[in-house]
Structure 1
Amino acid sequence: MAVAEVLGPGEWLGAELRDSDTWRIPLTEAHRREVLAAVHADSEESFPLPTLAPILHRVRDELTHGRGFVLIQGVPVAEMTERQCERAALGLARQVGAIVPQPPDAQPLMHVRDTGADPSRAKSYQHSGRLGFHSDPTDVVALLCVRPARSGGLSAIVSSVAVHNELVRTRPDLAELLYQPWWHDRRTGDGPDSFYTKPICAVRPDGGVSVAYGPDYLRSAQRGATVPPFTAAQEETMDLLDRLTNDTRFTLTMDLRAGDMQFLNNHVVLHSRTAYEDHPEPSRRRHLLRLWLTTA
């Protein structure tokens, strides 16, 4: 198939946004008090945000029709217990989209902490190793930082639309390969159910492109007994994607601090994380809350 470049606000370069504040939303003291009041409200179902809710609705618009990412700063996590942080994350996220339960136990949110698991076999939220640029399997992923690591753990994002268009311009033969089936690994065990095929790129109903890439999970799929080895063209495609997603022209890095809440549109943004080193005390170790959302 012949593929073409995709135009629109979802195409951006990190080098052009690095010194911009247009993608940051710092909460005012009034917003922070509003979050705390909602957290302490008697009703578990109600999370009233009279002045902050309209801002979060605009976040949803930016995610679905704009650049595809937003960073909210100043969620008052230091003034809340862990359970209250969970409630705040869910209350804020529900203003942006509907919560998608996460496997394996259909939980509304996931705690991102190092469990000492093997990075080559475990889920990305269970270890402290570096993560390749990837997308999560929902419309939006949100991360609320409760505590950063002692060092490392930087978040980096790229416009997958910009990377796609660069391949179309420079290597259209490899760009076409992105629309063909690739083997992926669910990392749910060693049986055949852990492995499945789908394209990396798909055309969206509005004519845009949705990019579902995850090199760590593509490479670990090679352990499957019935999964064929990469072809030379697939290897070349992944090498080029890895070079582009790590190119400083494309990459925008965020050092998430306590109270930062990052929202990403998985269709048009890929994200990664550097390896990190934690504090020895459990109460000071890196802790993020991950939520999956749908905007349909």
Structure 2
Amino acid sequence: MSFINPFPDLKATHIPDWKKYLRRQTLLESWDTQRAKLPTNFPQKAESPSVWSWEELDLESVTHDLTSLEIEEIDEALRNFKKENILLNQISCENFSLPTLGRHLDRIAHEIFKGKGIASIRGLSPDMYSVKDNVIIHAGISSHIAPFRGNQSGSNDQVLHICNREDMGIADLKAPSTAQSLPFHTDDTDVLAFYAIEASMAGGEMLWASHGKVYNELAATRPEVLGVLAESDWPVETETEPSDYVRLPLLYNDDQGPYFWLARGNLTGTERTPRPLGIPGLTLAQADALDAVHFAAERHSIRIAPRKGELYFVNNLSILHSRTAFQDSDVKDEKHPRARRRHILRLWLRDPAYGRRMIGRLEQRWSQVFDTELSRKRGRWLLSRDMVPEVISEKLFREKFPVGTVSSCQNA
């Protein structure tokens, strides 16, 4: 079923509109074009520990508070790593040894892949370290969660600094680099690893919602939406050339249960980066299905305000994530001696032993992101929140960080 959307005012937007969503539903019901049944080979109900709603999840049960001994162990691992002059691309659980904390990290990894799908660690003091040391700590701890890091940009960036760069005058700035809210979506990774270096003055909350819980609500109330999501005709904008797109489904199923794969910006465009004219728009049914996922996720999501020094690990293929808009402040006072400018480090992680087995085009994409040989040889580490990975050229990068300071081939 692929009716072109004859109502331009009802097209899907990057930030979902509840009133438009209701109007679309009414139209589609009046046309009676959708079959109210689940897609073939999909379960009536998703069942796993990662199926939960906000009132069913106890965050404290998936949070580890660092002891003073464990913090000393992290500091010792940092000193040893730097003393050995090891490249950042080579950081691993072997050369960032955490014998005591490591046992808890094994439990956390199990929680992420086989349990609730999320976990957090708190107790670090990022102000005690340089930006580079914070990056090393984040990568070192994360290497105990999953062994492989992903390339997060065309320049093979291993770590991204998620913060507001709207004052830099970049016209086509991507949505994560603004202070705007982000809708529910997934990334191209098994696990998202976040480290809060600094919190915002207001807003910037993270929202997490279970794929399985969203699936179950839609299966019970609007199964036709799942049928639309499972069709292989979604025009997804690619990251390569303007006007490039591929036709893919947004809903998949395997032996671990159903899951969504959707990057909303690649389906709707954003205010700063509109969808290229050469790419087909979404049908009315597709716009309806995209918003149905978002609003169901919103109903079941748990919301947390990132606190400075906390690490968060999220199973990307079990948990949808979004963000509220936020406001930074450069005002300093006795209570806040530093500017409160939201700064989150993000890594993409994969463990083939526990992660899902990707299929088709997704398998191809995961192979690109987790090309370990490429990461080791040309992985790039931005060690400043002021560098914007999607717009910085290789030439400018080398001018800002000469060889010998931050390089895929030199000590980082």
> TM-score scaled to structure 1, two decimals?
0.91
Deviation of 1:51 after TM superposition, in Å, equals: 0.4
1:102 correspondence with 2:141: no
1:127 correspondence with 2:166: no
From the CA coordinates, give the structure whose radius of gyration is larger. Answer: 2
Are the equivalent residues in 2 in contact too, given 1:145–1:257 (CA < 8 A)?
A: yes
Task: Please name the residue that 1:294 is paired with.
Answer: 350
Deviation of 1:229 after TM superposition, in Å, equals: 2.3
Q: 2:304 aligns with which of 254, 266, 270?
A: 254
Q: 1:12 aligns with which of 48, 52, 66?
A: 52
**Paired residues, what number?**
290
Counterpart residue identity of residue 139, structure 2: L
Residue pairs, 1:60-75, within 5 angstroms: 60-75=109-124
Give distance in 2, aligned partners of 1:201 and 1:120.
Answer: 33
Give distance in 2, aligned partners of 1:239 and 1:102.
Answer: 26
Task: Please name the residue that 1:185 is paired with.
Answer: 237
Task: Please name the residue that 2:278 is paired with.
Answer: 226
Deviation of 1:78 after TM superposition, in Å, equals: 2.3
Counterpart residue identity of residue 240, structure 1: A
Give distance in 2, aligned partners of 1:268 and 1:152.
Answer: 25
Secondary structure in 1 matching 2:144: coil
Are the equivalent residues in 2 in contact too, given 1:132–1:214 (CA < 8 A)?
A: no
* More displaced stretch, 233-242 vs 273-282: 273-282
Give distance in 1, aligned partners of 2:230 and 2:60.
Answer: 35
Are the equivalent residues in 2 in contact too, given 1:121–1:220 (CA < 8 A)?
A: no
Are the equivalent residues in 1 in contact too, given 2:243–2:279 (CA < 8 A)?
A: no
The alpha-carbon distance between structure 1 residues 212 and 121, as it changes in their structure 2 partners (threshold 3 A), is: farther
Are the equivalent residues in 2 in contact too, given 1:132–1:216 (CA < 8 A)?
A: no
The alpha-carbon distance between structure 1 residues 274 and 125, as it changes in their structure 2 partners (threshold 3 A), is: same
Give distance in 1, aligned partners of 2:170 and 2:69.
Answer: 41
Secondary structure in 1 matching 2:139: helix
Give distance in 2, aligned partners of 1:119 and 1:149.
Answer: 21
Residue pairs, 1:1-296, within 5 angstroms: 1-2=39-40, 3-4=42-43, 5-17=45-57, 20-41=59-80, 42-43=83-84, 44=86, 45=91, 46-97=95-146, 98-116=148-166, 121-181=172-232, 182-186=234-238, 191-193=242-244, 195-204=245-254, 206-220=255-269, 223-247=275-299, 250-280=300-330, 284-296=340-352
Are the equivalent residues in 1 in contact too, given 2:62–2:111 (CA < 8 A)?
A: no
Deviation of 1:213 after TM superposition, in Å, equals: 2.2
Give distance in 1, aligned partners of 2:289 and 2:343.
Answer: 34
Give distance in 2, aligned partners of 1:174 and 1:253.
Answer: 25
Structure 2 unaligned regions, length at least 5: 1-38, 332-337, 353-412
Which structure exhibits the higher relative contact order, with contacts defined as CA atoms closer than 8 Å and separated by 6 or more residues? Answer: 1
Give distance in 1, aligned partners of 2:288 and 2:340.
Answer: 41
Secondary structure in 1 matching 2:262: coil
The alpha-carbon distance between structure 1 residues 68 and 12, as it changes in their structure 2 partners (threshold 3 A), is: same
Give distance in 1, aligned partners of 2:302 and 2:117.
Answer: 13
Counterpart residue identity of residue 278, structure 2: T
The alpha-carbon distance between structure 1 residues 271 and 142, as it changes in their structure 2 partners (threshold 3 A), is: same
Q: Which has the higher strand share?
A: 1
Deviation of 1:123 after TM superposition, in Å, equals: 2.9
Give distance in 2, aligned partners of 1:284 and 1:277.
Answer: 9
* More displaced stretch, 280-289 vs 231-240: 280-289
Give distance in 1, aligned partners of 2:247 and 2:169.
Answer: 24
The alpha-carbon distance between structure 1 residues 160 and 153, as it changes in their structure 2 partners (threshold 3 A), is: same
> TM-score scaled to structure 2, two decimals?
0.66
The alpha-carbon distance between structure 1 residues 93 and 124, as it changes in their structure 2 partners (threshold 3 A), is: farther
Task: Please name the residue that 2:393 is paired with.
Answer: none
Give distance in 1, aligned partners of 2:246 and 2:196.
Answer: 32
Counterpart residue identity of residue 227, structure 1: I
Deviation of 1:120 after TM superposition, in Å, equals: 9.8
Secondary structure in 1 matching 2:158: coil
